Amino acid sequence: MSEFSVLDLSTEESVLVLTAVYQASPERVFEAWLNPEAIKKWVKPMPTCETVVLKYDPHGSGEFAVHMHIEGEVYGYFGTFTRIDPPTRLEMTWTWDPTPNDPYPETYLTIDLEPAGSGTRLTLTHSKIRSLESREAHSEGWTGSLTELNAYIH
């Protein structure tokens, strides 16, 4: 297997753009985003995270809710699928579970897939992020998840 990396192409404080090339078809990569059993295995910022899918309905305006258990803490997020165009584009709202002192605004996640040689180039765009610090944290988390996705599809 060739070396895998995730590149951060971000240029704006409120927008995270990551890209990675997978040695798998667009259909295979896209399916990993739609399958709740797959989500449990790869949407995690680090291998020790346990991902629990509470709701995952990737159809029309279906909703999702997920908890990540990391070092004794639970981080939850939820949202709505807003566009599903297999195997090239997936769009959804994304909101972290708020805490009483830290409500989190709704953000937007777009996944674009295109053929790249014998594989697939994935571009993840996470927009409406509230600060540079938050973008950096999202970059770290998504980089971990996209790396786990590479392991999952192989």
pLDDT at 18 over 90: yes
Nearest to 80 by CA among 100, 103, 107, 50: 107
pLDDT digits (tens, 9 = 90+) for 51-93: 999 999 999 899 999 999 999 999 999 999 999 999 999 999 9
Place of tokens 């830290």: 102
Query: How far apart are the C-alpha atoms of 67 and 78, rounded to whole Å?
Result: 9
145 located within any domain? yes
Number of domains in the chain: 1
32 located within any domain? yes
- Which residue range(s) make up the domain with 127? 6-153
Which pLDDT value is given to residue 2? 56
Residue 46 sits in a domain whose CATH number is 3.30.530.20
137 located within any domain? yes
At residue 113, the 3 state secondary structure works out as strand
1 located within any domain? no
Query: Which percentage of the chain shows pLDDT scores above 70?
Result: 97
pLDDT digits (tens, 9 = 90+) for 40-59: 999 999 999 999 999 999 99
103 located within any domain? yes
Query: How far apart are the C-alpha atoms of 147 and 135, rounded to whole Å?
Result: 18
Q: Is 13 left (phi over 0), alpha (psi -120 to 50) or beta?
A: alpha
Extract the tokens encoding 4: 């895998």
Q: How far is Cα of residue 133 from the mean position of the Cα atoms in its chain? A: 18
